[in-house]
Amino acid sequence: MTGPIMIVSLIFLGISMLVSYVLKSRFTKYSRVPLSSGLSGREIAEKMLRENGIYDVKVTSVDGFLSDHYNPANKTVNLSPDVYNGTSVAAAAVAAHECGHAVQHAQAYTPLTLRSKLVPAVQFSSMLVNWVLLIGIIMAYSGNTTVLLIGIILMAVTVLFTLITLPVEFDASNRALAWLQHTNVTNTTEYPQAKDALKWAATTYVVAALAAVVTLIQYIMLFMNMQRRDE
């Protein structure tokens, strides 16, 4: 069973790399399309926050490419330099998406709240899961499947987090696109481009979730096979 697990992991790794490549190429493409409104990512973020009645969230610039994120702990929308200073369709889409998370936080969006509560457990699980699974597989061949079961439980925590992330990301994109269209920050030509950019960003989360679920199922099947063998 460890062979199939490795094969599936490699397949999803390949798919993930392909999606990431397409995402980066789309971002690069739309980064070259100037926004007709002339607003920068920072200005768009601040505008969206204000129009949603949010005044306690700060918009900052952070290093990195596509490193944009919203931090609910200190209430900051963190934008990469290309987005923060950019006046392109890509910058508008990303800035509005991250502000979508800020709106979720302000409105106590349930999946976001649940995901935030899972963060400590996920951090703990992520540190241990690979080692526990490796040791568990070795011990399972000796007839002890307890450690493998613990590893599966740890993996299930990370898989749950990955699944909860899906509605959080899709909802943030929907909020961003609705706002971009409603406020006419993007025109009729730019809006479909912003939508396409966010679609590919969301696809990365879908691939990650599918890979996590399939891998978890395979470890569960391995555990069940080991138990049947010992009966």
How far is Cα 208 from Cα 163, in angstroms, rounded to an integer? 9
How far is Cα 19 from Cα 27, in angstroms, rounded to an integer? 12
Contact assessment for residue 89 and residue 194, using Cβ atoms and an 8 Å cutoff: yes
Q: Which of 46, 98, 169, 190 is catalytic?
A: 98
Maximum separation of any 2 CA atoms in the chain, in Å: 70
How far is Cα 110 from Cα 108, in angstroms, rounded to an integer? 6
Angle, CA 34 vertex, CA 80 and CA 55 arms, to 5°: 50
- Active-site residue, 98 included: yes
Q: Tell me, rounded to whole angstroms, the distance of Cα 188 from its chain centroid.
A: 28
Query: How many of the other CB atoms lie within 10 Å of CB of 187?
Result: 12
How far is Cα 210 from Cα 119, in angstroms, rounded to an integer? 20
How far is Cα 224 from Cα 140, in angstroms, rounded to an integer? 11
95 secondary structure, DSSP code: H
- Rounded-to-10 torsion of CA 182, 184, 190, 193: -20
Tokens coding 163: 């699944």
By annotation, the residues acting in catalysis are: 98
